[in-house]
Amino acid sequence: MLLKILLVCGVVVLFLLVARIIDRVIGELANKRSVSEYRVEYVSKITRFSLLFCAVAVICLLLGLGYGDVSLFLSSIFAVVGIALFAQWSILSNITASVIIFFGFPYRVGDRIQVLDPDAKLCGVITEITMFHVIVRMDDGNTVTYPNSLMLQRAVLKVTSGAQPLERDTGED
User: If you ran DSSP here, which 8-state letter would residue 98 be given?
Assistant: H
Q: pLDDT digits over 116-148, tens only?
A: 888 878 899 999 888 888 999 998 899 999 888
Residue 147: give its domain's CATH number: 2.30.30.60
- Please tell me the predicted confidence (pLDDT) of residue 118: 82
Among 100, 101, 127, 99, residue whose Cα is nearest residue 112: 127
Both 63 and 21 in a single domain? yes
Task: Give the pLDDT band of residue 164 (cuts 50, 70, 90).
Answer: low
Q: pLDDT digits over 55-114, tens only?
A: 988 888 888 776 676 677 778 877 877 776 666 677 778 888 888 888 877 888 889 999
Both 46 and 115 in a single domain? no
Among 172, 81, 74, 93, residue whose Cα is nearest residue 131: 93
Both 8 and 58 in a single domain? yes
